[in-house]
């Protein structure tokens, strides 16, 4: 004779299974996340994506970490193909590159790819979220910290961030700011660039340019700007933490959420389509108060805003 | 003294200059080339070591510390070493273990003599150094740290931008060890030698030879015209001003030649002008000389005339005095003469036989002295009565002979006559000239008291008849010669000093010249010159 309790338990389980199956039968879309390496920023994106997927009835089948290894990436992609997800989220350039190269029949949403234009991440099945915040928003953020300023200097490698400058120039001019540019082709030229710009600028805009930003040059840029009382404005809160005055950067959690939103939209489309490359719709302002103090800036109003990250 | 020509100097110094420049250039370019080759060697070393650093197989071999896995990377490395400069290679693991070290067979230095890099953790990028072994070999040493890369560069950069938490720190790379290679600069030395012997030296020799040739050519083109110029200059200096330099080049030498020709032309002109002026000067000089002579003559004449004037005035004064005194004295003298005559008659021996002889002597003395006074008076009167000569054509020799016959010549005086025959007749007052001759001959005899020679000669010269009367007497002192024709001047103890003055007057009236030459102790010569061609003036 079957115990009554056991019967009850079985019933509950069956009911749940039925319900779950029904639920699962209803939520057919699956997603796989491939992140390039284990970075906290990438993990934030995953978190946001997961949270938003739940709302959009997208099931995340697997999350793969390529650990920065190209070969592992190729292995993972083969696995992913077998799993046949409805959509793939790639985080970072390695994952995006590998997925784009091998997968053409599944929609891919990429994010956290710095200067994505360099990597030709465009295909009928690829949608992306750029890491560049709209220049107007950046300037707004910088001016809320600094107040109005006239001359903004920028050092850049045209082969890497030339398009950012080209796209931003007119808008910077509209904001009545004079963009003082200095082109370099190797990181050894950063010192010369700094010497050239100091004295001509009110602030230095640090782009995510791997020719400009190296471990060596970053120290030089930080020390030189501070010595000459020039605010260093950038696009990474990591640099603000390290001593730059302010940064307007993506909110990584919201990037994940935005990616999930895009995934939902793509999955609703009848055919395999791309929604193009969009800017992040959420960004954060980070400020280093120590640096502000050294530069003699008053940040009372800014400090009161809870959305602003204050360092240290 | 050795003469060094321009040609030699030019060629020598040009060649020296070319050689110096050539050597300096060669040295400079050799140095530059060597530096360049060394720099290229350095670059190749960096390139090779970077190749090793990027070689995944090297990283894999080091991560598993497997020596055999290096064979392929080393083979690839040696293939890249086209110049065969790779001398040695060494792989050092992070724990300071030497995993692998090898050298090429032709390297004499032992591998263990090549220093190992210590403190490899401190090496963050490629390191370069030059190592010199004890045996003289040199090596360019390169070392580079090998990291186990976590991920691709772009993801590494993403780590920088987005930050990281996890296994990898800011550096994000694990040090596996270092790879060290050495390159030998021996090939550079061989290349330099080759460049020197195949390029520099032959080129240098060619340049010097060409330089010598060109400088010889240039020197000749300069020296030849100069030599020609020198030859022409010598001829011009010797007086041949018609020479011309035939150089027509359009340069400084051509200009010099043309200026030289102009100069000789001007010189010739100047010399001709100078000669013309010289001639004129000579002519003028001649004229001046003759004028001078005339002036001298005139001066002498003037002096003579002055003397004559003085003498004439003196004579006139003396004459006037003499005339007056003579007349006054003549009468008393006559009376005294008569009285003496009477006394002599009265006091003669016949009349008074024992008369004192002394009285008779005194009367003789008185008679003689009266005669002498009469003579003086006559002479004085004669002097005052010199009349205008009555000139008749006369034979001078006859007049001379006549005068000689009328003078009492002492036997101790030898007379020599040199009377030129066939002398033309001369218009003279024979009496007066005779008087003159008598006076002169008498003076000559008086000068030869102790005997001597009397020489008389006549001849014709320059339109004059010349009569010379010379004696070998005591001569006349020089300071007195000019005075002998002055009236009342005499050197004789008993003379009146009128004789020669009268002679002078007579000769003067004949338009002749009377002159004297005398030397004390030797003798005196009197000269008379009577002009030929004078017409008969007729009786006074």
Give a yes or no: residue B435 inside a domain: yes
Determine which of B151, B156, B158 to mutate to test the interface with A (most A C-beta atoms within 10 Å).
B158
State the nearest Cα–Cα gap between B136 and chain A, in angstroms: 37
Q: Is the pTM of this model over 0.90?
A: no
The alpha carbon dihedral of B270, B271, B276, B277 has a sign of positive
Q: Are B375 and B494 in contact (CB under 8 A)?
A: no
End-to-end CA distance of chain B: 93
For residues A175 and A120, state if they share a domain: no
Residue B151 and residue A36: Cβ atoms within 8 Å?
yes
Chain centroid, CA B7 distance in Å? 30
Give a yes or no: residue A99 inside a domain: yes
State the nearest Cα–Cα gap between A185 and chain B, in angstroms: 17
Q: Which residues pair with B129 in a beta bridge?
A: B141
Give a yes or no: residue A149 inside a domain: yes
For residues A305 and A200, state if they share a domain: yes
Out of B150, B155, B165, whose CB is closest to A40?
B165
Out of B155, B163, B171, whose CB is closest to A68?
B155
What are B's interface residues with A at a Cβ cutoff of 8 A? 150-155, 157-167, 170-171
pLDDT tens per residue across span B460-487: 988 999 999 999 998 999 888 888 888 7
The CATH number covering residue A271 comes to 3.40.50.2300
Q: Are B429 and B392 in contact (CB under 8 A)?
A: yes
Residue A252 and residue B170: Cβ atoms within 8 Å?
no
B492, B495, B499, B501: CA torsion to nearest 10: 70
Produce one character per residue of B410-427: b if its CB has 16 or more CB atoms within 10 Å, e if not: eeebeeeeebeeebeebb
Out of A69, A92, A241, whose CB is closest to B158?
A92
For residues A259 and A201, state if they share a domain: no
State the nearest Cα–Cα gap between B182 and chain A, in angstroms: 27
Q: Are strands B173-183 and B86-93 parallel, antiparallel or unpaired?
A: antiparallel
Give a yes or no: residue B336 inside a domain: no
Mean pLDDT of B314-338: 78
Does pLDDT of B156 surpass 50? Answer: yes
Chain A CB contacts of B157 below 8 Å? 114, 208, 210, 213
Does pLDDT of B283 surpass 80? Answer: yes
Out of B150, B160, B162, whose CB is closest to A68?
B150
Residue A312: cis peptide before it, omega within 30 degrees of 0: yes
State the nearest Cα–Cα gap between A51 and chain B, in angstroms: 21
State the nearest Cα–Cα gap between B150 and chain A, in angstroms: 6
State the nearest Cα–Cα gap between A35 and chain B, in angstroms: 11
Give a yes or no: residue A21 inside a domain: no
Does pLDDT of B540 surpass 50? Answer: no
**Residue pairs spanning A and B at CB distance below 8 A:** 71
What does the pLDDT read at residue B202? 87
A272 or A7, greater pLDDT = A272
pLDDT tens per residue across span A202-219: 999 999 999 999 888 999
For residues A160 and A237, state if they share a domain: yes
A161 or A27, greater pLDDT = A161
B495 or B421, greater pLDDT = B421
Helix or strand (DSSP H, E) at A26: helix A4-26
Give a yes or no: residue B188 inside a domain: yes
Task: Output the average pLDDT for chain B.
Answer: 86
Chain B CB contacts of A112 below 8 Å? 158, 162
Chain B CB contacts of A93 below 8 Å? 152, 154-155, 158
Strands (E), A185-293: 203-206, 232-234, 246-250, 277-278, 283-288
Instruction: Name the residue among A68, A298, A229, A64 with its Cα closest to residue B156.
Output: A68
The alpha carbon dihedral of B367, B373, B379, B384 has a sign of negative
Residue B158 and residue A114: Cβ atoms within 8 Å?
yes
Helix (H, G, I), strand (E, B) or coil at B357: helix
State the nearest Cα–Cα gap between B95 and chain A, in angstroms: 26
For residues A229 and A271, state if they share a domain: no
Residue B159 and residue A70: Cβ atoms within 8 Å?
no
Does pLDDT of B169 surpass 60? Answer: no
* Ramachandran area for residue A101 (φ above 0: left; ψ -120 to 50: alpha; else beta): alpha
Give a yes or no: residue B403 inside a domain: yes
Mean pLDDT of A236-241: 91
Give the model's confidence band at B315: pLDDT under 50 very low, under 70 low, under 90 confident, else very high. low
Query: Which of these ranges, A10-19, A42-51, A92-101, B78-87, has the smallest mean pLDDT?
Result: A10-19
For residues A273 and A304, state if they share a domain: no
Alpha helix (H) residue ranges in A113-189: 135-146, 158-174
Residue B162 and residue A238: Cβ atoms within 8 Å?
yes
Give the model's confidence band at B322: pLDDT under 50 very low, under 70 low, under 90 confident, else very high. low
Last-in-domain residue among B192, B209, B229: B192
Q: Could you tell me the two tokens for B219? A: 């020197």
pLDDT tens per residue across span A102-112: 899 999 999 99
Residue B164 and residue A208: Cβ atoms within 8 Å?
no
Give the model's confidence band at B239: pLDDT under 50 very low, under 70 low, under 90 confident, else very high. confident
For residues A264 and A115, state if they share a domain: yes
Does pLDDT of A25 surpass 50? Answer: no
Residue A39 and residue B160: Cβ atoms within 8 Å?
no
Mean pLDDT of B443-459: 93
pLDDT tens per residue across span B4-31: 888 888 888 988 998 898 888 888 988 9
Does pLDDT of A153 surpass 90? Answer: yes
The CATH number covering residue B57 comes to 3.30.450.220
Give a yes or no: residue A207 inside a domain: yes
Q: In degrees rounded to 5, what are phi and psi of residue A130?
A: -70, 155
What are A's interface residues with B at a Cβ cutoff of 8 A? 36-42, 67-70, 92-94, 112, 114, 208, 210, 213, 215, 218, 235-238, 241, 252
* Ramachandran area for residue A284 (φ above 0: left; ψ -120 to 50: alpha; else beta): beta
Chain A CB contacts of B163 below 8 Å? 39-41, 236-238, 241
pLDDT tens per residue across span A116-146: 988 999 999 999 999 999 999 999 999 988 8
Task: Output the average pLDDT for chain A.
Answer: 89
Give a yes or no: residue A9 inside a domain: no
For residues A189 and A307, state if they share a domain: yes
Does pLDDT of A281 surpass 90? Answer: no
For residues A89 and A226, state if they share a domain: no
Chain B CB contacts of A38 below 8 Å? 166-167
How many structural domains comprise chain A?
2
The CATH number covering residue B462 comes to 3.30.565.10
Give a yes or no: residue B179 inside a domain: yes
Give a yes or no: residue A5 inside a domain: no
Give a yes or no: residue B506 inside a domain: yes
B211 or B311, greater pLDDT = B211
Q: Are strands B86-93 and B98-103 parallel, antiparallel or unpaired?
A: antiparallel
Q: Could you tell me the two tokens for B472? A: 């070998």
Give a yes or no: residue A22 inside a domain: no
How many structural domains comprise chain B?
2
Domain that holds residue B496: 388-540
Mean pLDDT of B72-85: 88
Q: Which residues pair with B175 in a beta bridge?
A: B147
What does the pLDDT read at residue A1? 52
For residues A86 and A50, state if they share a domain: yes
Last-in-domain residue among B192, B213, B242: B192
Over its C-alpha atoms, chain B yields an Rg (Å, rounded) of 70
Give the integer Cα–Cα distance in Å for B244 and B482: 68
Give a yes or no: residue B353 inside a domain: no
Residue A94 and residue B170: Cβ atoms within 8 Å?
no
Give the model's confidence band at A17: pLDDT under 50 very low, under 70 low, under 90 confident, else very high. low
Give a yes or no: residue A16 inside a domain: no
pLDDT tens per residue across span B361-403: 999 999 988 888 887 777 677 666 667 888 899 999 999 999 9
Give the model's confidence band at B168: pLDDT under 50 very low, under 70 low, under 90 confident, else very high. very low
Domain that holds residue A110: 29-132+252-283
Give the model's confidence band at B66: pLDDT under 50 very low, under 70 low, under 90 confident, else very high. confident
State the nearest Cα–Cα gap between A129 and chain B, in angstroms: 15
Give the integer Cα–Cα distance in Å for B100 and A305: 61
Does pLDDT of A261 surpass 90? Answer: yes
Last-in-domain residue among B158, B192, B226: B192
Q: In degrees rounded to 5, what are phi and psi of residue A75?
A: -65, -45
Query: Which of these ranges, A73-82, B170-179, B259-268, has the smallest mean pLDDT?
Result: B170-179
For residues A152 and A214, state if they share a domain: yes
Does pLDDT of B166 surpass 60? Answer: no
Determine which of B151, B161, B173 to mutate to test the interface with A (most A C-beta atoms within 10 Å).
B161
For residues A42 and A93, state if they share a domain: yes
Q: Which residue of A has its CA nearest to B152?
A: A68
Give a yes or no: residue B74 inside a domain: yes
Residue A42 and residue B161: Cβ atoms within 8 Å?
no
């Amino acid at each position: 004779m079957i115990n009554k309790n056991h019967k009850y338990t079985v019933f509950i389980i069956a009911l749940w299974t039925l319900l779950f199956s029904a639920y699962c039968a209803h939520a057919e879309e699956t997603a796989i996340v491939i992140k390039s390496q284990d970075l906290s920023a990438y993990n934030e994106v995953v978190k946001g994506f997961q949270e938003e997927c739940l709302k959009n009835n997208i099931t995340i089948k697997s999350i793969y970490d390529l650990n920065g290894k190209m070969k592992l990436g190729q292995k993972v992609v083969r696995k992913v193909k077998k799993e046949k997800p409805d959509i793939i989220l790639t985080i970072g350039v390695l994952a995006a590159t590998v997925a784009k190269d091998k997968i053409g029949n599944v929609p891919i949403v990429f994010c956290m790819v710095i200067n994505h234009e360099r990597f030709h991440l465009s295909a009928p099945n690829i949608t992306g979220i750029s890491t560049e915040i709209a220049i107007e928003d950046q300037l707004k953020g910088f001016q809320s910290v600094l107040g109005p300023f006239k001359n903004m200097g920028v050092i850049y490698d045209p082969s890497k961030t030339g398009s950012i400058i080209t796209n931003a120039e007119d808008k910077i001019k509209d904001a009545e700011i004079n963009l003082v540019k200095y082109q370099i082709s190797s990181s050894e030229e950063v010192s010369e660039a700094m010497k050239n710009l100091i004295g001509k600028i009110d602030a230095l805009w640090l782009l995510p340019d791997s020719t400009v930003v190296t471990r060596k040059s970053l120290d030089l840029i930080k020390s030189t700007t501070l010595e000459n009382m020039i605010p260093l404005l950038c696009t990474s809160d990591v640099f603000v933490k390290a001593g730059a005055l302010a940064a307007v950067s993506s909110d990584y959690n919201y990037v994940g959420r935005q990616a999930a939103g895009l995934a939902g939209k793509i999955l609703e489309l009848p055919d395999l389509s791309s929604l193009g490359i969009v800017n992040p719709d959420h960004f954060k302002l980070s400020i280093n108060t120590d640096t502000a103090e050294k530069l003699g800036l008053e940040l009372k109003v800014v400090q009161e805003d809870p959305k602003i990250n204050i360092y240290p | 003294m050795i003469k060094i020509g321009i040609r030699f100097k030019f060629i020598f110094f040009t060649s020296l200059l070319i050689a110096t420049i050539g050597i300096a250039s060669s040295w400079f370019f050799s140095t530059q080339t060597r530096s360049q080759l060394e720099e290229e060697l350095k670059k190749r070393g960096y390139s090779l070591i970077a190749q090793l650093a990027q070689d995944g197989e090297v990283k894999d071999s080091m991560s598993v510390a497997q020596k055999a896995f290096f064979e392929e990377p080393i083979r690839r490395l040696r293939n890249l070493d086209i110049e065969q400069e790779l001398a040695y290679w060494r792989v050092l693991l992070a724990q300071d273990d030497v995993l692998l070290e090898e050298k090429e067979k032709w390297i004499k230095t032992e591998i263990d003599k090549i220093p190992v890099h210590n403190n490899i953790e401190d090496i963050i990028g490629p390191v370069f150094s030059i190592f010199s072994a004890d045996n003289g070999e040199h090596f360019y040493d390169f070392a580079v740290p090998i990291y186990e890369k976590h991920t691709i560069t772009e993801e590494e950069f993403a780590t920088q931008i987005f930050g990281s938490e996890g296994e990898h720190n800011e550096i994000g790379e694990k040090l596996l060890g270092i790879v060290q290679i050495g390159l030998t600069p021996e090939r550079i030395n061989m290349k330099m030698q080759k460049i020197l012997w195949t390029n520099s030296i032959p080129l240098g020799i060619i340049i010097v030879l060409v330089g010598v040739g060109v400088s010889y050519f240039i020197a000749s083109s300069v020296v030849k015209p100069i030599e020609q110029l020198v030859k022409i200059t010598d001829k011009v200096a010797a007086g041949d001003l018609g020479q011309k330099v035939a150089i027509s080049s359009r340069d400084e030498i051509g200009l010099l030649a043309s200026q030289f020709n102009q100069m000789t032309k001007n010189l010739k002109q100047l010399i001709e002008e100078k000669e013309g002026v010289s001639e004129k000067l000579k002519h003028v000089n001649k004229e001046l000389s003759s004028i001078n002579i005339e002036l001298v003559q005139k001066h002498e004449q003037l002096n003579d005339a002055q003397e004559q004037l003085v003498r004439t005035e003196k004579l006139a004064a003396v004459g006037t005095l003499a005339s007056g005194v003579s007349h006054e004295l003549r009468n008393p003298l006559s009376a005294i003469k008569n009285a003496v005559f009477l006394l002599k008659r009265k006091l003669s021996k016949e009349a008074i036989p024992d008369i004192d002889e002394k009285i008779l002597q005194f009367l003789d003395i008185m008679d003689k002295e009266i005669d002498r006074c009469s003579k003086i008076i006559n002479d004085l009167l004669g002097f005052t009565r010199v009349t205008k000569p009555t000139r008749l054509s006369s034979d001078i020799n006859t007049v001379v002979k006549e005068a000689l016959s009328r003078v009492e010549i002492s036997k101790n005086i030898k007379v020599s006559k040199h009377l030129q025959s066939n002398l033309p007749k001369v218009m003279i007052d024979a009496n007066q000239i005779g008087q003159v001759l008598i006076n002169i001959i008498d003076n000559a005899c008086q000068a030869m008291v102790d005997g001597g020679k009397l020489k008389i000669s006549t001849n014709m010269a320059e339109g004059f008849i010349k009569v010379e009367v010379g004696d070998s007497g005591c001569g006349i002192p020089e300071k007195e010669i000019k005075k002998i024709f002055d009236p009342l001047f005499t050197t004789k103890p008993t003379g009146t000093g009128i004789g020669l003055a009268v002679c002078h007057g007579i000769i003067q009236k004949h338009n002749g010249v009377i002159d004297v030459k005398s030397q004390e102790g030797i003798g005196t010569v009197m000269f008379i010159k009577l002009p030929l061609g004078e017409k008969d003036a007729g009786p006074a």
